[in-house]
Amino acid sequence: MRTEEARPVRLADYRPPDWQVDTVDLDIALDPTATRVRAKLNLRPSADGGPPAPLTLDGEGLVLRSIALDGTALSPEQYVATADRLTIAQPPQGPFALEIETVLDPSANTELSGLYRSGTIYCTQCEAEGFRRITYFLDRPDVMAVYTTRIEATKAQAPVLLANGNLIAAGDIAGTDCHFAVWHDPFPKPSYLFAMVGGNLACVEGRFRTMSGRDVTLRIYVEPGKESRCGHAMASLKRAMRWDETEFGREYDLDIFMIVAVSDFNMGAMENKGLNIFNDKYVLASAETATDADFDRIEAIVAHEYFHNWTGNRITCRDWFQLCLKEGLTVFRDQEFTADLRSRAVERISDVRALRAHQFDEDAGPLAHPVRPAQYHEINNFYTTTVYEKGAEVVRMLKTLLGAQKFRAGMDLYFTRHDGRAATVEEFVQCFADVSSADLAQFMLWYSQAGTPEVVATGSHDAARKSYRLDLVQTVPASPDQPSKEPMVIPLAIGLVGADGRDLPLKLSEGATPDRAVLTLSKPAQSFVFADIAAPPVLSLNRGFSAPIKLVVNQSADELRFLATRDGDAFNRWQAFQTLATQLLVENAKALRTGGTARTESRLTDALRAVLADGTLEPAFVALMLTVPGEADIAREIGRDVDPAAVFAARAGLRARVGGDLGAELLERYGSLAQTGPYAVDAASVGRRSLRNTCLDLLVATGHRDSICLAARQYHAADNMTDRMAALSALSLCDVPERGEALEDFYGRYRGDPLIIDKWFSLQAVIPEPGTLDRIKALTRHGAFSFANPNRVRALIHAFALGNHKEFNRPDGAGYDFVADTVLALDGKNPQLAARLLSAFKSWRVLEPARRQRAHASLMHVAIAYSLSPDVSDIARRALSEN
């Protein structure tokens, strides 16, 4: 390990800025290798009186051309400028204007942070600390200023010039082949929300009339020729704008709202004020090019970025420790939006599956951190599933604890009290305390304690007293820097289900019966006794996944099968089946690891048969019921000495068994769900396709010839990408000639379209066969692949490391070596992308000893490498730490 270690940034060290910037005037002359940036900052001291504090501005890799204070050039002894800092030791007493001119090279910017080029397009990415790569600035979110941005460029190179806010002037520059545009954003914002774009872009335009009757122009800018693929993003944007008005009373504030799609982008999308910049993967869609899942993701991400206009932009974060304040809250809002537009049960199950597959593993491993971390070495590494998805769960629990009305009142208070300011988590939670007079001090532990709480529930019925007693015990596991934990406030939605499948009335023997059938567990151990329960009920706890916990209930397989078919709560119906299947899979994985054989369970498939036959259930829900728990779910339940090959074999065996046992029923449903009309992406059509393709997938899992042929036929006959990809994806898991033919055909059909070829890369990356690693290495030399484009790298290499548990965890360690070498090769060019890839090692400690040793060796290989970026060295150090 390298000995010198950068000092962490700590929440406890926060100090308000000594200086504020009221206005920023930028004048940017675009040039591929020498872009000139003039910035005029109107500064004032934060506090009145006393000697002025030194002014220190952040920079990164900047070249200073000139500097002037109130119109007079500064002499060299009046300031110190390095590539990474500009200091004026003795600034004037009162407000002053600082003019700084810098030059930068957008073409050389491979980190894709600051101002860079994506193809021929100039674009920016400033969150978290990219603005300091454009000009010297107080680059921290609690410095909020009003920006005016003038951009000039040659008309040939950049016919479109965009920045935040409203366009206030534009025109040609006389005597040159250049033109300019001036944009003004009247809303104060932190520098991370600055954006500008220049280039040759086509545009699709729409209109939206806000709740108060103002007309807003909507524009989506894409590569010329891709306009026809913007319809879904535009429709999604309008739905999001309306939903935020009706559900939260939030209206859009500028005259124009723009989205720009670029092909080189480190993230999914960025919520820059009035000028969102998107990874084109999350904008472009048509029936022929995108799957239903792509359509869903586009709708959710367009909505997410739009919702940030209030939760993130109008009210921003005081510092980066408060990242969950904008992200957790905005994820909660986009999840609610999707639930309202589509199916609430299906959305909830999908969200929880993702939470468990990613966040629970992160929370249980060496990279665990609280929703609001107390310190960081590299903020770019905290755009995590814990901050986003667990952060959203914390907001959801507030709503569950307070009820919908008080939750909305708390949100309203937050919007009025903090509008135009940079806020903290404490200030957010205080709004809910103020409207409800609830004491939320203990609830704050959800923001500061890492680890997934475990609740053990034991129910017992007393026939003589006609009562039902529920004993609850909670523990929170140790996590890095947090060996012992306090008990949390855990809202548990509950139902006691009678023999007829109906919920029994709930009446606590002592104390007030809670509203909304939600128990609040706040002590290490607590008991609740329900009166007037004549016969033993079946317990349905943590309904709707009311708390992000691991729940252990002493329930028999009979009770779980009863809940799987009868529970009135759709989430717990699904959960009961998951629990049953996971128990069987854990047992089988252990047996297979020690050379035993997998057990079969006909009652499990009987329960699924009943679900498949139930015509009252939504098809999308049935599809989720039929989906066998993932490898990460099984591994997490096993907990230690995990053998990923045995886990894979157990899961594949169960899938084949379900496909075989229910063959006739699956085939019948597959036929009856065939598409009749034209392709549509409404919830009903999507659900129908989802179930039909799940049936196909289970049939193909048996490996039977006729099922393989069925999939091959669907592949060739499909008139939309969803059905074509589903067939190809099912085929790609089988070593049959049809797979090779279909993959070749797919490449031939879509070779000109990088976003579709990404799907082709990903499918090959997750083939669970020993030849996959060599295949991937060969694909890195394919003409369509590029290490410079994050989408390509994610499609091939991240898909392998995160989605192919069996082959990434090869017993010979070659999967780890390949990923480690790729991290090192990427680090010099794009550290954020490299660090994200390295976090695929987040669960290495739970592996069986031989693999654990090989993973450790690969991590060490990265850790001792010379001149690592802060991003990668931070992940390597934490992944290797012994707590």
Residue with Cβ nearer Zn ion (192 or 407) = 192
Residue with Cβ nearer Zn ion (185 or 327) = 327
Residues 420-459 as x/- pattern, contact with Zn ion by CB under 5 A: ----------------------------------------
> Crossing angle for the helix pair 721-732 and 705-717, nearest 10 degrees?
150
Q: Least distance (Å) from Zn ion to the CB of residue 425?
A: 16
Which two three-digit tokens encode residue 310?
């209030």
Q: Least distance (Å) from Zn ion to the CB of residue 548?
A: 19
Q: Least distance (Å) from Zn ion to the CB of residue 357?
A: 20
Q: Least distance (Å) from Zn ion to the CB of residue 330?
A: 5
Would you tell me how many other CB atoms lie within 10 Å of the CB of residue 224? Answer: 9
Query: Residue 762 and residue 732: Cα distance in Å, rounded?
Result: 11
If binding means CB under 5 A, how many residues of this protein chain bind Zn ion?
2
CA quadruple 135, 139, 141, 146: dihedral sign: negative
Strand order in the sheet with 490-497: 518-521, 490-497, 538-541
Residue with Cβ nearer Zn ion (327 or 633) = 327
Query: Residue 661 and residue 657: Cα distance in Å, rounded?
Result: 6
Residue with Cβ nearer Zn ion (197 or 392) = 392
* Active-site residue (options: 99, 127, 305, 362): 305
Query: Residue 265 and residue 123: Cα distance in Å, rounded?
Result: 10
Residue 114 has φ and ψ, to the nearest 5°, of: 90, -145
Q: Least distance (Å) from Zn ion to the CB of residue 362?
A: 18
**What region, left, alpha or beta, does residue 312 occupy, with left being phi > 0 and alpha being psi -120 to 50 degrees?**
left
User: What stretch of H or E contains 187?
Assistant: strand 178-189
Which two three-digit tokens encode residue 653?
């065996």
HEC letters along 252-294 = CCCCEEEEEEECCCCCCEECCCCEEEEEHHHCCCCCCCCCHHH
Residues 308-327 as x/- pattern, contact with Zn ion by CB under 5 A: -------------------x
Query: Residue 270 and residue 313: Cα distance in Å, rounded?
Result: 11
Query: Residue 163 and residue 188: Cα distance in Å, rounded?
Result: 14
Residue with Cβ nearer Zn ion (252 or 760) = 252
Would you tell me how many other CB atoms lie within 10 Å of the CB of residue 209? Answer: 11
Residue with Cβ nearer Zn ion (330 or 579) = 330
Q: Least distance (Å) from Zn ion to the CB of residue 427?
A: 19
Residue with Cβ nearer Zn ion (270 or 766) = 270
Query: Residue 776 and residue 770: Cα distance in Å, rounded?
Result: 11
Q: Residue 18: name the closest of 127, 188, 140 by CA.
A: 140
Counting every residue, how long is the chain?
A: 883
Which residues fall within 8 angstroms of residue 83, CB to CB, at 6 or more apart? Answer: 59, 60, 61, 62, 63
Q: Least distance (Å) from Zn ion to the CB of residue 327?
A: 5
Which residues fall within 8 angstroms of residue 15, CB to CB, at 6 or more apart? Answer: none
Residue with Cβ nearer Zn ion (333 or 353) = 333
Q: Least distance (Å) from Zn ion to the CB of residue 358?
A: 16
Which two three-digit tokens encode residue 508?
């606590």
Residue with Cβ nearer Zn ion (327 or 848) = 327
Q: Are 659 and 666 in contact (CB under 8 A)?
A: yes
HEC letters along 74-110 = CCHHHCEEECCEEEECCCCCCCEEEEEEEEECHHHCC
Q: Least distance (Å) from Zn ion to the CB of residue 334?
A: 9
Q: Residue 593: name the closest of 628, 654, 641 by CA.
A: 641
Query: Residue 390 and residue 393: Cα distance in Å, rounded?
Result: 5
Residue with Cβ nearer Zn ion (35 or 124) = 124
Residue with Cβ nearer Zn ion (392 or 773) = 392
- What letters, b where the CB count within 10 A reaches 16 and e where it falls short, cover 726-737? bbbbbbbbbebe
C-alpha to C-alpha distances, 57 to 61, 68, 80, 82, 464, nearest whole angstrom: 13, 14, 10, 10, 75
Amino acid at 651: R
Q: Least distance (Å) from Zn ion to the CB of residue 270?
A: 8
Residue with Cβ nearer Zn ion (128 or 138) = 128
Which two three-digit tokens encode residue 787?
């290490």
Q: Least distance (Å) from Zn ion to the CB of residue 624?
A: 26
Segment interacting with Zn ion (CB under 5 A) among 329-337, 687-695, 750-758, 824-832: 329-337
Residue with Cβ nearer Zn ion (333 or 739) = 333
Q: Are 520 and 403 in contact (CB under 8 A)?
A: no
Q: Least distance (Å) from Zn ion to the CB of residue 9?
A: 21
Q: Residue 130: name the closest of 113, 105, 109 by CA.
A: 113
Residues 273-312 as x/- pattern, contact with Zn ion by CB under 5 A: ----------------------------------------
Q: Is 305 a catalytic residue?
A: yes
Query: Cα angle vertex 476, ends 472, 480, to 5°?
Result: 175
Segment interacting with Zn ion (CB under 5 A) among 328-336, 607-615, 628-636, 846-854: 328-336
Q: Are strands 55-58 and 166-172 parallel, antiparallel or unpaired?
A: unpaired
Which residues fall within 8 angstroms of residue 780, CB to CB, at 6 or more apart? Answer: 787, 796, 797
Q: Tokens 């934060």: give the residue.
A: 46
Segment interacting with Zn ion (CB under 5 A) among 330-338, 371-379, 417-425, 607-615: 330-338
Interacting residues with Zn ion (CB under 5 A): 327, 330
- Active-site residues, by number, are 305
